[in-house]
Amino acid sequence: MPHRFTVMTTLSPTKARSNLTSWLQAAVDGQDVGILFGEHVVALRPVAVESTDYALREYEATASEVQHLSALAHEEIQKDRKSGKLRRFTGKIDGLVGNPGH
């Protein structure tokens, strides 16, 4: 079976910046797109991000800290639901926030 090579479109930062939205869309659509940065090519690729991943990377939280904070948030949400502070959104914002200006 012959090996298939994919061709990466490589761009200068200036060229990428001039039409960034279309290059990002191309990457999301599965095309290989790279931006030249000195001697390096930096690839544009979509990645899956979860809130726990974000907390781990952005705040350097440990997995156990994220679990603990998640449990606390869940408890607070349940308490607010029971007390009536938290209500299900039905698509009508006026009922939730009042009607300012009237």
Per-residue pLDDT of the chain in tens (102 residues, 90 and over written 9) = 566 677 899 999 999 999 999 999 999 999 999 999 999 999 999 988 777 778 888 888 888 988 898 899 999 999 998 998 887 777 777 766 665 554
> How far is residue 44's CA from residue 2's CA, in Å, rounded to a whole number?
27
Q: Which pTM does this prediction carry?
A: 0.49
Q: What is the C-alpha separation between 68 and 75, in angstroms, rounded?
A: 11
